[in-house]
Amino acid sequence: MSRAYIPEAIKQRVAAAARYRCGYCQTQQAIVGYPLHVEHIIPEAAEGASTEDNLWLACSVCNYYKGAQTHALDPITQTSVPLFNPRNQIWPEHFTWSDDGSQIIGLTPVGRATMEALQLNTPFRMHARQRWVSVGWHPPRD
């Protein structure tokens, strides 16, 4: 798969628009200590364009699990729905945090399908969030 060149100025605008956090799991770049990936919301493998309106930030884990997927099954309704679009959809309308801040809860078919497809609640991720909560770094406040 060829990867299109994305100018640095566009990467910087995308990162700022995403508030330097993963559009799916909300992991903050300042916590992980590496630049989050500028990812294609509709993957290049699915003919997604390398234009700013199809780009957002994702952590390496979400980007890995998302791969070339565009849709996934909602585990409750068993219907195939589009994955969450962090540019066009509002995170709190589709997800919320567990009371202790360690787990992402899908509120809608899109939220639940994305949660499963991107494995947003692996034990490793939840353990890291528990540590971030303990020092006041998580969840993001806005």
Cβ closest to Zn ion, residue 24 vs residue 95: 24
* Among 58, 54, 42, residue whose Cα is nearest residue 6: 54
Cβ closest to Zn ion, residue 24 vs residue 84: 24
Q: Which stretch binds Zn ion (CB under 5 A): 42-50, 54-62, 74-82, 105-113?
A: 54-62
CA atoms within 13 A on the CB side of 28: 13
Residues 60-99 that bind Zn ion (CB under 5 A): 62
Shortest Cβ distance from residue 62 to Zn ion (Å)? 3
**Token pair listed for 95:** 């997800």
Q: Report if residue 59 touches Zn ion, rule: CB under 5 A.
A: yes
Q: Which stretch binds Zn ion (CB under 5 A): 7-15, 51-59, 92-100, 128-136?
A: 51-59
Q: For the stretch 66-101, what's the b/e string if a residue is b when 16 or more beta carbons lie within 10 angstroms of its beta carbon?
A: beebbebebeeeeeebbbbbbeebebeebbebeeeb
Binding site for Zn ion (CB under 5 A): 22, 24-25, 27, 59, 62
